[in-house]
Structure 1
C-alpha cells in the first residue's frame, strides 16, 4: 500500500490539475508524510500548487524534506491508473475504519459507536459499488418498493413547499432560490434549515455562509427558535431578564441537539465540494442537505468571465446532488432589472450572471415582496419545477425573530 500511495502522490505532484477531476481525501492515506503532501495539494488553490508551496505547507507538520518532494515528483509514473489507484487506497481506508469501528463497538456498545460502525459499513459499500452500467433494474425496483410501501419521497420542510415539490426536498435536486438584496433570502434559508431539522432531527444540514460569520448565523438560528429579538443577541447585556436568558439557553440547546453545521471560512468552490462529498458519503438516504449562501460569492480559481465561473459552480453542485443522491439548496442574487419594472414579480431571466443557473437547477424559486409598503408579506414563487408544480406560497415575515411562517399553513 505504501508503494501505491507514493505512486498517487507522485502523479498529483506532477499533474495537480487532476485534483479537479478526481475526489481525493487526505485521510485515506496511511503514510503520514504522504497524507500531509496530499492535504497540502487539496488545501492550496489550483494555481498555487507548486512544489515550493507544498513544502511550505508540510514543513511544520512532517519530517519530509524539500529534496524528498523533488525525488517524489521526479518519479516517472503515468496517470492512466490514477482512478483505480485512488479507489484501492479509499477501499483500504474504509476497511481500516470498519475494523476499528467493530473493535470500538465490541468495547463499548453505545449508540454513538453503533452509528460509527454503520457509517464505516456504508462507506465500504460505496467504494465497492460497481461502475455505472446504465442499467435501469435497480431504479425500477426502487420505484416499485416506493409504490407498495408508501415510503417518504423527500426531506420535509414547510407543508405547502413540500406539496409543490411533490413530497419534499429529494435526492439529486438542485434547488435555487433567487432574490434581490434585503428581501430576506438568508433568513429564509435559515427558516428552511430550521424546518428541516425540526421535522426530522436525524437530518444533517451543512450551511455554507459566504456573507456572514458563524456567530451571526448562530444568532439567527437562536432568534428563530427562541423567539428572541436578534438585536438582543447582537448586543447582549446585563439587562437581559431571567426569562429572556432562559429562552436563549433553550435556543442554544436546540442548536446543540440538532445536526447543524455552519461553515464561514470555506469560500472556494473546491472547498465546498470537498466538504459536501465527505459528509454526504457518510449520510443515510434522505438525511443530508447542503445550503450554499450564495452562488455569487463562491470563488472559482479561474480568470474566465464570471458567467462562465457561475456555470462551473452550478454544474459542480448539480453533479454532487446526482452523485450522492442529496438535495442542495443554492441561493442566488437577481438582476436589478426587476426593480425597474412595474410588476415586481421576478422572472427566470432575472437570474444574475448566468443562464446556467436555470439550466442546471431542478427547481428555481424567487422570494419577493408583492407590496413594498408591507414588508411582513413575502412570497416564494416557483417558476421552474421538473418533478412538481409551479405556484406561489405566501409567508408572514417577522424580521426581529427571523421568522418565516406559511400563511394559512397548518
Structure 2
C-alpha cells in the first residue's frame, strides 16, 4: 500500500480528515504518521504546508520542511489514491498485525490478558467497513433502476422447493451455512447443490474446497452422482466393471469440457489460500464457492487448539468470508459440524444453538440450513431452513441415497 500517495491525497484536501475516523498509528511510515497526526491536530484547517510543518515540530520536535511537504503534495496521480477510501484498508492492516502479535504472545505465554486483547481486536476487525456507502438514496438511484428493469435474474437457481422458500434462489453477497452432525451428509448435499445449479446454468463457475479429501476423491463423488455408479465401488477402481470405467471416464471428460469447476483438496487448508483462490476465480453474479468444512480451516497466526482459539478462528473466518462475499458480489457456502449435545436430546431437530464453537456462524450467515435423517425411513432426509434473512423458514423433505450420492426432492 503506497502510503506516500495516500498522504499526498490528504495534503491536497486536508478537510476530509474532519469526516473520518483516522489514527496516525495505522501508518507504517513514521514520517507519514507524523504528517497525518499534524493534520488531525489541526482538524484539517490548513492554510499552507507551513502550518503542518510547524505542527509536526510542536508535536514531536521533528523537522519536516515545507519544501518536503510541497514535493509530497505535488506527487503525480495522487488522485488515484483516495485518502478516505484507503483509511479502512489501513485500519484493517494495522489491526490484523496487532491481532497476529497478541495471538502469538498468548500462544507463547498462555496469559488471559492477551486472550482478552485478541477478543477485543477481533471485534474491532469485525466492525471495520472497507467499502462504506455514503448512505444517500441519490447515490444508488442508477444502480436501483438498472437492476429493477434488468431482464436477467441475479438469483442462482437450485431445487424448486428451495427456491420457493428462499425468495427465488441464492443471491450475491450471501454467506450460507449448511450444518449437520458428522456422517449425516454435508458433503453429499453441498455437492448436489453445486451440481444442480451448474446443470441449470452451465455458464456458472463453481469452486469446491475440501479440507478432508483430495481432488480425485471429490471427483469420484460427483461422477457417482452423475453416472449412477455406486460410490463404494469408486473407492478402489478395480471394483468397477469395464462398462463402469467407460462411464466414469466419459463423465470426467464431460465435467472437464462442459463445466467450469475448480476442485481444491486438503492442500488449501488456510483462510488466506482459500480467499486468494476465490478472488482469482470469482465472476460477479456467475460464481459459487463451497468450503467443506469451516472447522478445519486454519487462520494464519491463530492456534485453534488453544483456550478460546477455535471460537476466535471461526469468528475471523465467518466475518472475512462474509466481507468477501459482499465485496465480490457472490454467494459463499460454508459447511459446519453441529455440537454432540444434539445426539442426547429427545428432540433431534437441529437448531441454531447447535452450531459448533461460535455464534458468528449464525450472526454472519444470511441463511442457515440443517440436514438430518429420518429415524425410521432410511432414504428420507430433512433440510431445515433455520435462518433466512430474505424468505421463509421451514422444513423440506428430500430423498437421500449416499451409495449413489443422490439428493433430490422427496416424492410421496
Shared fold per TM-score greater than 0.5: yes
The answer on 1:200 being equivalent to 2:185 is no
The answer on 1:381 being equivalent to 2:380 is no
Q: CA RMSD in A?
A: 3.1
Measured in 2, the distance between the counterparts of 1:150 and 1:330 equals: 30
The match for 2:273 among 264, 271, 274 is 271
Match of 1:353 in 2: 357
Measured in 1, the distance between the counterparts of 2:318 and 2:216 equals: 27
TM-score by length of 2: 0.65
Asked if 2 retains the 8 angstrom alpha-carbon contact of 1:153 and 1:167, the reply is: no
Measured in 1, the distance between the counterparts of 2:81 and 2:213 equals: 40
TM-score by length of 1: 0.65
The answer on 1:326 being equivalent to 2:330 is yes
Match of 1:254 in 2: 254
Asked if 2 retains the 8 angstrom alpha-carbon contact of 1:351 and 1:357, the reply is: yes
Measured in 2, the distance between the counterparts of 1:197 and 1:252 equals: 15
Residues 247/239 of structure 1: CA separation in 2 closer, same or farther (3 Å cut):
closer
Asked if 2 retains the 8 angstrom alpha-carbon contact of 1:226 and 1:250, the reply is: no
What secondary structure sits across from 2:203 in the alignment? coil
Deviations 1:167-215 (A, max 9, x none): 1110010000110011100011110111011011111111110011111
Match of 2:161 in 1: 160
Measured in 2, the distance between the counterparts of 1:319 and 1:161 equals: 25
The match for 1:317 among 301, 314, 321 is 321
Q: Which runs of 5+ in 1 are unaligned?
A: 5-14, 19-80, 89-129
Match of 1:291 in 2: 290
**Whose Rg is larger?**
2
What secondary structure sits across from 2:407 in the alignment? strand
Match of 2:393 in 1: 390
Residues 137/217 of structure 1: CA separation in 2 closer, same or farther (3 Å cut):
farther
Cα deviation for residue 246 of structure 1 reads 3.3
What secondary structure sits across from 2:232 in the alignment? helix
State the aligned residue count: 290
Residues 339/238 of structure 1: CA separation in 2 closer, same or farther (3 Å cut):
closer
Asked if 1 retains the 8 angstrom alpha-carbon contact of 2:233 and 2:240, the reply is: no
Measured in 2, the distance between the counterparts of 1:238 and 1:320 equals: 42
Residues 172/402 of structure 1: CA separation in 2 closer, same or farther (3 Å cut):
same
What secondary structure sits across from 1:208 in the alignment? strand
What secondary structure sits across from 2:237 in the alignment? coil
Cα deviation for residue 221 of structure 1 reads 0.6
What secondary structure sits across from 1:276 in the alignment? helix
Q: Following superposition of structure 1 onto structure 2, how do residues 140-179 of structure 1 map, counting pairs within 5 Å?
A: 140-179=141-180
Deviations 1:94-117 (A, max 9, x none): xxxxxxxxxxxxxxxxxxxxxxxx
What secondary structure sits across from 1:237 in the alignment? helix
The answer on 1:344 being equivalent to 2:348 is yes
Deviations 1:135-160 (A, max 9, x none): 44464444444444453131112111
Deviates more, 1:321-330 or 1:252-261: 252-261
What secondary structure sits across from 1:395 in the alignment? strand
Residues 324/400 of structure 1: CA separation in 2 closer, same or farther (3 Å cut):
same
Measured in 1, the distance between the counterparts of 2:328 and 2:138 equals: 19
Q: Which runs of 5+ in 2 are unaligned?
A: 5-24, 29-77, 87-130
Match of 1:75 in 2: none
The answer on 1:308 being equivalent to 2:312 is yes
Residues 344/237 of structure 1: CA separation in 2 closer, same or farther (3 Å cut):
same
Cα deviation for residue 286 of structure 1 reads 2.0
Match of 1:181 in 2: 182
Measured in 1, the distance between the counterparts of 2:331 and 2:174 equals: 5
